[in-house]
Chain A
Amino acid sequence: MLNSVQRAWRSVVRKPVKSLLLFLTAAVISLFLLSGMAAGQANVLSQDTARQAVGAGFRLDNNEKNRSRRYSEISERIGADTEGSLEGVHQKKMETAYGTQWIGWADNSFETLKLPDIEALAAVEGISDYNITTCVTTVRPVGFKRIEDPDLDQHQDLGCVTLLGNRKMEFDSNVLSGNVTLKEGRMTGPEDRDVCVISEELAAENGLALGDELSFGDRHDESGSAVQRAEIIGIYRTKQPMAAYMSGDTFRSENVIFTDLRFPEKAEGAEGDPCFEHAYFQVADVDRYEEVRAAMEQVEIDWERYDFIDRNGDLSTMSSNFNDLEKISGLFVAVTLLAGFLILSLIFLFWIRNRSRESGILLSLGVGKGSILGQLFLEAVLISSLAFLLSLPAAPGVSKLAADYLVAGQQKQAELQKAADADKVADGGRTESEQTVTGVKIAITGEMAGICGAGILLLTGGSVGVAGLFLLRKKPARILSELS
């Protein structure tokens, strides 16, 4: 007696036309699923004219979207209206004259680039050297005067100077761009500890020379007892004043003091808890620039945290950090699954209704309903699998189209939002740099294909099961009487 596999195979091979609708539906579902997943994992290629690696190098920054999302997620885990600290995020309640106020902030452990990630990238073949630059760190000058402009409004000024630590100062972006040059002495290097390089204006104002020491106090320490000293090993000059990070003399160009990498964290009373803001990787051979980029992109680090920027300001932004692209892609996949399930169920209901005669014959021959459903399932799996396999070569092209469409929609939305926000006053938070999307890089991975294949199989199984209820509820005698 022919078993369900033999019957299924013959049915599919000998009556292919009846399977055409299922084949096309399965192929479309497969393409949509792959497109949705690929768009959710896409690299949105964009250009940031404000940030770029100088020379033959690459730059690594934190991604602002990712930072905001991580902050929100951790804050939610701490709980609304709950005091506490988690993974570098802190929430605190304060009683003020205006009632209860909540303040939240993130410390260095949250803000910093991860040192192991930087070191992993630095170890890639083709990288000859690398630098790490700390976050802008404000400390009180102790025993020396900073440069001030009495004509400027200083009511929001912190009364501090700015420290900028570097692993290797010669790779600091201000130095690489040629704006900062040495007047005397030398720049900081990886082996240095407790050293600094000051501006010629600051040296002149305080009568400082190489070998002198500067003292800095933690601006949070009200007692003023926590003081750190750094020896002056260089004096620099600038062609143009360095752009101030914020308003106030604390951040003015002349008050920027370059130090060794780990000094800023000591000076602000957070030794062992550094804040690394940028990393720079120097490519040894300019001709191998693209090859080195590809090798670096293969390094397994948490890329979602970062912007990886090249010498043209081109960067790859993971879709999860690009507006709501990952969410939209997820929604796209969910809608495809739901619609696919409904459509497939209807197709199988149609199949079973149209094949009730065949079911009746098989039932009268003593074939079980399970075996008949099994045959339908196998037929569906054969057709869906073929549709899935044939959709794979088309998937990259369709996925690219879908991702381009989704990104364009997201970009338009962002532009509208930007136009709407144009006249609003900034809230003092971090600002995002200006990025222009230049393309979308998409890849269908083996994992995506596996998930899609499993999804198609589950959809097929589920919808055959649902449609099969129609068959299971029917009495053989009823089918027999219909046949008669």
Chain B
Amino acid sequence: MILEARDVSYRYKSQKDRPVLEHMDAAFSCGKLYAVLGPSGSGKTTFLSLLAGLDVPTEGEILYDGEPVMAKGLREHRKRHISLVFQSYNLIDYLTVTENVRLGGKKEPGKLLEGIGIGPEFWKRNVLQLSGGQQQRVAIARALASEAKVLLADEPTGNLDEATAFEVTAILKQIAHEEGKCVIVVTHSRELAGEADEIIRIGPAPLS
């Protein structure tokens, strides 16, 4: 088990009587692609941010490699253990393709970019000159640049057309299966969920 959510609950300070997540357990291993499914407002993105160390659960704990992530600090967890991919790519607009990938970690950007189908002719371009699919590939390459074993993706195909979404899904699957990473994807896409090794469903929070 590389990442584990143990009895995790989360409430916003302003809405203490209405939990976003309640007593949730989940465990994730390397080499697998996980899909987190659930209706809007069910707390999928909150769950992802707790796993990513961007926030702290109100109750319960997140463990990385059996150790609570709070032990070494959330920033350390984000820096060393987690890489993130977002729906809206979230690339830095004043950096080139290569420089954006270098933000993710020390790995050679060229190899990573070629590995996901971005040729050298694009490397020195500003990221805003790329298509949506190409930008998402660059975002994935940035996530792969780090040594992190866990890749978290929030609706990675949400802004892409069907064909490109299929290609990105294939890349994520490849990362899980060939590179042995733990890939956790929050999605509404049935196609992507269908490619997942495991599906975690998050139900709607009960109204009080």
A residues at B contact (CB < 8 Å)? 1-2, 7, 10-11, 14-15, 357-358, 360-366, 368, 475-477, 480-481, 483-484
Would you call A10 and B95 a contact (CB within 8 A)?
Answer: yes
Chain B nearest Cβ from A366, distance in angstroms: 3
Contact (A477, B54) CB under 8 Å given A1-B104, A483-B86, A484-B45:
yes
Chain B nearest Cβ from A267, distance in angstroms: 83
Chain B contacts for A7, CB-based, 8 A: 92, 95
Would you call B99 and A10 a contact (CB within 8 A)?
Answer: yes
Instruction: Choose among B84, B87, B126 the residue with the greatest number of A CB atoms under 10 Å from its CB.
Output: B84
Chain B nearest Cβ from A232, distance in angstroms: 92
Which of A15, A357, A363, A475 sits near B94, CB closer than 8 Å?
A: A15
17 contacts across the A-B interface (CB closer than 8 A): A1-B103, A2-B99, A2-B102, A361-B91, A364-B52, A365-B104, A365-B146, A366-B75, A366-B76, A368-B75, A475-B55, A477-B49, A480-B45, A480-B154, A483-B88, A484-B45, A484-B154
Please measure, in the bound complex, the distance between the C-alpha atom of A478 and the C-alpha atom of B90, giving whole angstroms.
15
Chain B contacts for A10, CB-based, 8 A: 94-95, 99
> Does more than half of chain B's interface fall in helix, strand or loop, or is it mixed?
mixed
Please measure, in the bound complex, the distance between the C-alpha atom of A420 and the C-alpha atom of B52, giving whole angstroms.
77
Please measure, in the bound complex, the distance between the C-alpha atom of A365 and the C-alpha atom of B84, giving whole angstroms.
7
B106 within 8 A of partner (CB): yes
Chain B nearest Cβ from A15, distance in angstroms: 5
Please measure, in the bound complex, the distance between the C-alpha atom of A477 and the C-alpha atom of B56, giving whole angstroms.
9
Chain B contacts for A358, CB-based, 8 A: 92-93
Would you call A14 and B94 a contact (CB within 8 A)?
Answer: yes
Chain B contacts for A483, CB-based, 8 A: 86, 88, 90
Instruction: Choose among A1, A361, A364 the residue with the greatest number of B CB atoms under 10 Å from its CB.
Output: A364
**Which residues of B from 10 to 37 have beta carbons under 8 Å from A?**
none
Please measure, in the bound complex, the distance between the C-alpha atom of A417 and the C-alpha atom of B95, giving whole angstroms.
63
Instruction: Choose among A362, A475, A477 the residue with the greatest number of B CB atoms under 10 Å from its CB.
Output: A477
Please measure, in the bound complex, the distance between the C-alpha atom of A361 and the C-alpha atom of B104, giving whole angstroms.
10
Please measure, in the bound complex, the distance between the C-alpha atom of A483 and the C-alpha atom of B45, giving whole angstroms.
11
Chain A nearest Cβ from B89, distance in angstroms: 10
Chain A contacts for B87, CB-based, 8 A: 484
Please measure, in the bound complex, the distance between the C-alpha atom of A357 and the C-alpha atom of B92, giving whole angstroms.
9
Please measure, in the bound complex, the distance between the C-alpha atom of A340 and the C-alpha atom of B52, giving whole angstroms.
40
Which of A1, A11, A15, A364 sits near B84, CB closer than 8 Å?
A: A364
0/1 string, B143-154, CB within 8 A of A gives 1: 000100000001
Please measure, in the bound complex, the distance between the C-alpha atom of A366 and the C-alpha atom of B75, giving whole angstroms.
6
Please measure, in the bound complex, the distance between the C-alpha atom of A475 and the C-alpha atom of B99, giving whole angstroms.
26
Would you call A1 and B106 a contact (CB within 8 A)?
Answer: yes
Would you call B75 and A364 a contact (CB within 8 A)?
Answer: no
Would you call B105 and A1 a contact (CB within 8 A)?
Answer: yes
Would you call A2 and B95 a contact (CB within 8 A)?
Answer: yes
